Amino acid sequence: MNGDNAYRTLGPRDLRLELEALYADYTGCLDEERFEDWPGFFADPCLYKIVPRENFERGLPLATWLCESKGYLLDRVQAIRKTSVYAPRRVRRIVSGIRIIGWSGDVLEARASYAAFETLIDELTRVFNVGQYHDKIVVDGGALKFREKICVFDSLLVPNSLIYPL
Partner 1 sequence: MEGLRWPREGLTRIPFWVYTDKDIYAREQERIFQGPNWNFVALEAEIPRPGDYKRSFIGDKSVVVVRAKDGAVHVVENRCAHRGLQFCQLHLGHANEIMCPYHQWTYDLDGSLIAVPFRRGVKSQGGMPAEFSLADHSLRKLSVARRHGVVFASFSDGAEPLEDYLGAPILELFDRVFDGRGLKVLGYSRQLTPGNWKLMFENIKDPYHASILHVFLLSFGLNRVDQPNRVVIDAKGRHASTMTWRGEQKRTEANLDMRSLIEDLKLNDPTMLDPVREFERYTVCMTTIWPNLILQQQSNTLAMRQIITKGPNAFELNWTFFGYETDDEAMTQRRLRQANLMGPSGYVSVDDSEMMALAQQGLGPAPESAAVIELDGPAWREEEDHGVTESQIRAFYDYYRKVMGL
CB nearer partner 1, residue 17 or residue 62: 62
For 28, how many CA atoms within 13 A lie in the half-sphere containing its CB? 6
Q: Minimal distance in Å, beta carbon 90 to partner 1?
A: 15
Q: What are the residues whose beta carbons fall under 8 Å from the beta carbon of 5, sequence distance 6 or more?
A: none
Tell me whether residue 41 is exposed, middle or buried, using C-beta atoms within 10 angstroms of its C-beta: 0 to 12, 13 to 18, 19 or more: buried
Q: Minimal distance in Å, beta carbon 137 to partner 1?
A: 22
Q: Where do runs of H (alpha helix) occur along 8-48?
A: 12-31
Q: Minimal distance in Å, beta carbon 107 to partner 1?
A: 23
- Interface with partner 1 by CB under 8 A: which residues? 50, 52, 54-55, 58, 60-66, 68-72, 74-75, 78-79, 82-87, 156-163
CB nearer partner 1, residue 66 or residue 101: 66
DSSP state of 114: E
CB nearer partner 1, residue 22 or residue 162: 162
